[in-house]
Amino acid sequence: MIGKSLRPLPAGEFDDRKARHLLNRAGFGGTPRQVQALADIGLRRAVDYLVDYEKIDAPAVRVDQFDKDIMQPLARDQRQALRRARRTADEATLEQFRQLRQSAQRADRTQIRDIQRWWLARMIETPRPLQEKMTLFWHGHFSTGYRAIEDSYHMFMQNQLFRYHAVGSFRALAHAIIRDPAMIAYLNNNQNRKEAPNENLARELMELFTLGEGNDYTESDIKHGARALTGYTYRDDEFINFQSPQYQRLHDHSLKRILGETGNFDGDDFVQIILTRPVAAKFICWKLYRYFVNDLPGVPQKPAQQFISDLAKVLRDRNYHLKPVLKALFKSAHFYDSANIASQIKSPIQLIVGAIRSLQVPPRNLSVLLSASELMGQNIFYPPSVKGWEGGRAWLNTSTLFVRQNLMIYLLTGRRPGTHAWQSDGPTYDPMHLIEHLRSPQGMVNLRDAVTHLLGVNLASPPHPSRLDVLVRFAESGGGTLDKAMLVALLSLITATPEYQLC
Amino acid sequence: MSDTTYTRRLFLQQGMTLASMAATAPLFIQRSALAMMQPEGSMLSSRPGVPEDHILVVVQLGGGNDGLNTVIPYGTGRYYDARPNIAVPAPGRGAAQQPAALPLDHSAGIGLHPNLAGFKELMDDGVAAIVQGVGYPNPNRSHFTSMDIWHTADAGAKGYGWIGRYFDNTCNGSPVPERAVAIGRTAPLAMHGARQQPVTFETADLFRWLGEDLPAPGGSLNPPYQQINRSSTLDNVDPDSQLGFLMRTALDAQISSDRIRAAVAKQPLVRYPGGQLARQLQIVAAMIRDAMQTRVYYVSLGGFDTHANQVPRHANLMRQLGGALNAFHNDLKAQGNSGRVLTMAFSEFGRRVGQNASGGTDHGTAAPMYFVGDMIRPGLLGQHPSLTDLDQGDLKFNVDFRSVYSAVLEDWMSAPAAKILGRTYSKAPIIKA
């Protein structure tokens, strides 16, 4: 029995506009033809197609495509040599170790850039957009930054973990994240041991990852939770073996009292206890709601709150499996409410990936795109803090708006600002395919129809009539010929409208 | 959301004219118009009655500037023992390849790097100061973490930036574009608040829509672009909606861009030397001269991470620093603004006392901070850190950097330092009473 607020959209109401909304939110948008195809198969099948994506072939991620050994810890004899050099103030040997470390760090910084490019390319190309969209969601949720951990392969492993569990079980993911080397290093659980507990992971596990700040737990739960997590660390790329003497030495085996339960708990017991709390499901569904439905500032309104509660009930009833929740969400009438369409400010990644996927512009230079994304406030693998990206209106200010508009110029023309002249990256873009279907039998395209169509496929909400007028007047003053140059000019203007930033 | 409630409150107080403007005017014009209708000072300053004309310019020296080769303890033999190849000679002992330190305090045996002549001149004129031995407890030697600690003023390097929090805690907590301007590729953490975000640009010419440079059929793309981005409202657009917010931001961006580019296009009143820092400070001086409403500017110079072959690299950086600060002050003086602008330079840490095996120095701890402005208590402030009483080969700090921030916030910006920094720090006496 699902909650009333999750009432599905009547099948007959799933039109092009709603199909575009679905593809924008459950993915990164798409071409008019892709939108049309979703609309044609109907709401239920369209949602299932996007969520049950394992049925779609996608290139597998090769785990050996990146070097896992760049930041390999020192071997035992090296460690001894280093200690000896420190003891005897042997500057020459110390200098050798410093050089070694610095060159490893340099190589690793190069590799994290390779990994950034690889992920961005994957988001642009994937036939399973929801998988990457959810991977990005978990990256922001279980926020971990390269800058603090300085190990690109661990970031890659974590990214793979998010992809693997993307729409799977939140329970499985929560158990996996406390064993994840990148997370362990980021929140200092590698320093969490019996004699000197470090509370960082325990605190964020409850505050940011599962329950929400101040929801249903106390400082004492954090202290005892931290003790349960003692010894949860890793060696090189592997989580510690529970049978190992090292774990036995580091782990606090005494009784803990967490959220009212008492026992000789370890980290996995801690996660299990947390997930018995109804507020955990609610917190996750609130975050999903903000990511997929609406992130307007302020407390969600009554209907939204009911919707989140009903989603949370689905999540609990289905033992934290995410697919039923996502399907209910994407099929609901609430999701397609006009107040929720074109209500989100695109994240920088949404803007970049969405523009490329929808307009079919050449992807240009991935490094330039990544640097634009950073300027717009979203540098993947470098979230600003353990809270991830704030999102919503925080994406947008006068500086980032110019970057957003200029990025679109770059995608459409390949021309980027140098200090002196424009450079051009990649082939010229031919947008003629966007209007081919509007040709009359005589081969003519009506200007007003063409501009209306371009506005319609690029904006998430129906365009304001005055926008149409400005663009038509511009095209007429340029002779009214709908050639390649004119279409690029029109698209440059359309993507520079404030409403283009919404999806 | 706060914008709305704020507008509504004023609507009740002041009637229809304002309310109708709220929907159409860009954010900061709206606020300055509102300010004119308020009793003098109440909107414009963080403290009633204090006119808001004080400006802070932060200069970040990224990479860990070697404090000991900037402010040189030439009177201490231990300095030369620890740095046989890279120490700066005492006054009178220089050579062609290694010029001597410029004396500052002969009795204490303290001098300046020879390439800081421009800064020495400001010291001699009584408009510059050095606070010695600034740091914080349990120093972190990672560039990123230590820089984040300086930016957040938080031991755990967590939270928003200290300047961002300054804005969040003043100006009625409502962000005004242009109040905070960072010259650079990305906005520094220090300038990020919960509500305030800085305007950020690398060169003023890139702070605009570049589509206007495109060849367009029938002329320029600029007129339709301006029409679209300056239409602060459309029928049926709720000003509180996302679109309403976007349209106001778009209009703000156009107006900021016009103003900043017009300001920067003017010739400076003095000649600036070459280099990145001088270029940035020239932009800042132009904006100050143009009476922009900016209260905090942020500029930065990198390259201070001198692990190897330090002497020539550091000398070059010192020349840039000294020359840029000197030209900037003289420009402000010629404008009549040197009494309004406090310039503060810092680095995330100093370097170790002993040189390393590559003719460089590794990451250290305490280091000096540098100040320029007519309001500053000039000279060498505080004690030079001891070169014998060390913590594992590193200098011990005498002044917590948050004591310096407290002074800047309270004595210069008239802002509640304890509230912004999260606790009370004893204020370093750097501003003239």
Residue extents of the structural domains in chain A: 9-51+277-331, 348-424, 431-501
Indicate the burial class of B95 (C-beta count within 10 angstroms; 0-12, 13-18, 19 or more). Answer: exposed
Provide the 3-class DSSP secondary structure of residue A36. Answer: helix
Asked if the C-beta of A492 comes within 8 angstroms of chain B's C-beta atoms, the answer is yes
Cβ-Cβ contacts under 8 Å for A288 (sequence gap 6 or more):
A137, A311, A325, A326, A329
pLDDT at B192: 86
The one-letter amino acid code at A18 reads K
Distance from C-alpha of A58 to C-alpha of A71, rounded to nearest angstrom? 30
The pLDDT assigned to B28 comes to 44
**Mapped to the 3 state alphabet, what secondary structure does chain B carry?**
CHHHHHHHHHHHHHCHHHHHHHCCCCHHHHHHHHHHHCCCCCCCCCCCCCCCCCEEEEEEECCCCCHHHCEECCCCHHHHHHCCCCCCCCCCCCCCCCCCCEEEECCCCEEECHHHHHHHHHHHCCCEEEEEEEECCCCCCCHHHHHHHHHHCCCCCCCCCHHHHHHHHCHHHCCCCCCEEEECCCCCHHHCCCCCCCEEECCHHHCCCHHHHCCECCECCHHHHHHHHCCCCCCCCCCCCHHHHHHHHHHHHHHHHHHHHHHHHCCCCCCCCCCHHHHHHHHHHHHHHCCCCCCEEEEEECCCCCCCCHHHHHHHHHHHHHHHHHHHHHHHHHHCCCCCEEEEEEECCCECCCCCCCCCCCECCCEEEEEECCCECCEEECCCCCCCCCECCECCCCEEHHHHHHHHHHHHCCCCHHHHHCCCCCCCCCECC
Both structure tokens of A284 = 């996750």
Q: Which residues of B touch A421 (CB under 8 A)?
A: none
Instruction: Give, in degrees to the nearest 5, the angle at Cα B116 between B113 and B118.
Output: 160
In B, minimum Cα distance to A479 occurs at B218
Whether residue B334 lies within 8 A of chain A, CB to CB, comes out as: no
Chain B closest-CA separation from residue A52 CA (Å): 32
For strands B71-72 and B367-372, give the pairing: unpaired
Q: Which helix (H) or strand (E) holds A263?
A: strand A261-263
**In the prediction, which pLDDT does A117 show?**
98
CB < 8 Å from B in window 441-480 of A: 464, 466-467, 470-471, 473-475, 477-479
Q: Which residues on neighbouring strands pair with residue A234, listed in sequence order?
A: A239
What pLDDT does A337 receive? Answer: 96
Spatial strand order of the sheet with B71-72 comes to: B71-72, B110-112, B102-105
Q: Which two tokens stand for residue A315?
A: 């999540």
Tell me the two tokens of residue B96. Answer: 């062609």
Q: Does the beta carbon of B357 lie under 8 angstroms from any beta carbon of chain A?
A: yes
Strand partners, A345: A502
CA–CA dist A438, A118 (Å, integer): 37
Residue A417: the pLDDT is 58
What is the pLDDT, as a whole number, of residue A172? Answer: 98
Is B259 at the interface with chain A, CB within 8 A?
A: no
* Distance from C-alpha of B128 to C-alpha of A177, rounded to nearest angstrom: 52
Q: What is the pLDDT of residue A252?
A: 98
Which runs of consecutive H residues, i.e. helices, occur in A52-87?
76-87
What is residue B171's predicted lDDT score, i.e. its pLDDT? 67
**Backbone φ, ψ for residue B299 (5° rounding):** -130, 165
Beta pairing partners, B400 = B135
Q: Which of A102, A409, A470 comes nearest B224 by C-beta?
A: A470
Mutation site for B-interface testing, chosen from A398, A413, A464 by largest number of B Cβ within 10 Å: A398
Nearest to B365 by CA among B66, B74, B60: B66
pLDDT band, very low/low/confident/very high, at A1 (cuts 50, 70, 90)? low
**Residue A89 pLDDT > 90:** no
**Residue-wise pLDDT tens for chain B (433 aa)?**
333 222 222 323 333 333 333 444 444 444 443 333 333 333 333 333 344 689 999 999 999 999 999 999 999 999 999 999 999 999 999 998 889 999 999 999 999 999 999 999 999 999 999 999 999 999 998 888 899 999 999 998 888 899 999 998 886 655 676 889 999 877 899 998 877 878 888 888 889 999 988 888 878 999 999 999 998 667 778 888 899 889 988 998 998 899 999 999 999 999 999 999 999 999 999 999 998 889 999 999 999 999 889 999 999 999 999 999 999 999 999 999 999 999 999 999 999 999 988 899 989 999 999 999 999 999 999 999 999 999 988 999 999 999 999 999 999 999 999 999 999 999 999 999 8
Q: What pLDDT shows up at residue B172?
A: 61
Place of tokens 């204090």: B50
Quick check: A477 and B158 CB within 8 A? no
Q: Give B271-309 pLDDT, tens digit per residue.
A: 999 999 999 999 999 999 998 889 999 999 999 999 889
With beta carbons under 8 A apart, name residues in chain B contacting A92. 357
The residue among A219, A216, A220, A222 whose CA lies nearest residue A201 is A222
- Of all residues in chain A, the one with the smallest CA distance to B253 is A398
Return the closest-CA partner of residue B146 out of B364, B429, B328, B371. B364
Distance CA A168, CA B242 (A): 32
Which amino acid, one-letter code, is at A189?
A: N
**Residue indicated by tokens 């283009």:** A500
Task: Identify the structural domains of chain B with CATH numbers, from first to last.
Answer: 1-38 (no CATH), 54-212+253-421 (3.40.720.10)
Residue A261 DSSP SS3: strand
Cα B176 from Cα B58, distance rounded (Å):
19
CA distance B104 to B124: 9
- Rounded distance between C-alpha atoms, residue A237 and residue A157, angstroms: 9
Taking residues A101-127, report their average pLDDT.
Answer: 96
Reported pTM: 0.85
Cβ within 8 Å, pair A399-B218: no
Task: Judge contact between A41 and A49, C-beta under 8 A.
Answer: yes
Q: Cβ of A228 under 8 Å from any chain B Cβ?
A: no
pLDDT tens sequence across A210-268: 999 889 899 999 999 999 999 999 999 999 999 999 999 999 999 999 999 999 999 99
Residue with tokens 């300047």: B163
Residue B328, CA atoms < 13 Å, CB-side half-sphere: 35
Distance between CA atoms of A106 and A110, rounded to whole angstroms?
6
Tokens of B203: 């060169």
Report the candidate in A189, A461, A181 with the shortest Cα–Cα distance to residue A336: A461
Q: B174 CB near a chain A CB, below 8 Å?
A: no
pLDDT value of residue B175: 66
Distance separating the N- and C-terminal Cα atoms of chain A: 31
Q: Tell me whether residues A498 and B250 touch, CB distance under 8 A.
A: yes
Is A74 touching B (CB cutoff 8 A)? no
C-beta atoms of A398 and B256 within 8 A: yes
pLDDT over 90 (residue A491): yes
Nearest residue to A227 via CA among A186, A270, A261: A270
Count the Cβ atoms, other than its own, within 10 Å of residue B3.
20
Is A409 close to B211, i.e. CB distance below 8 A? yes
Model pLDDT, residue B3 = 30
Chain-chain contact of A401 with B216 (C-beta, under 8 angstroms) = no
First vs last C-alpha separation in chain B: 40
Instruction: Find out whether B113 and B69 touch, Cβ atoms under 8 Å.
Output: yes
In Å, what is the CA distance from A320 to each residue of A25, A163, A204, A286, A313?
22, 17, 20, 14, 10
Containing A207, the helix (H) or strand (E) segment is none
**Structure token pair of residue B365:** 């701890």
Query: From the candidates B243, B255, B356, which should be mutated to test the interface with A, based on the most A CB atoms within 10 A?
Result: B243
Mean residue pLDDT across chain A: 94
Q: Are A138 and A160 in contact (CB under 8 A)?
A: no
Please indicate whether, in this complex, the C-beta atoms of B209 and A297 are within 8 angstroms of each other: no
- Placement of tokens 């961002």 in the chain: B164
Burial of A298 (0-12, 13-18, 19+ CB in 10 A): exposed
The pLDDT score that the predictor gives to residue B52 is 61
Go through B178-201 and write b for each residue having 16 or more CB atoms within 10 A of its CB, e for each that does not. Answer: bbbbbbbeebbbbbbbebbbbbbb
Kindly identify which residue of chain A lies nearest to residue B251, measuring between CA atoms: A398
CA distance A351 to A323: 25
Scan for tokens 């959301």, then name that residue. B1
Tell me if chain B has a CB within 8 Å of the CB of A423.
Answer: no
Q: Which residues of B touch A470 (CB under 8 A)?
A: 224, 227-228
> Which of B1, B218, B245 shows the shortest C-beta gap to A479?
B218
d(CA B168, CA B166): 5
Question: Please, which pLDDT band fits residue A291 given cuts at 50, 70 and 90?
Answer: very high
What is the reported pLDDT for B356?
87
B224, A98: Cβ pair inside 8 Å?
no
CB contact (8 A) between residue B256 and residue A147: no
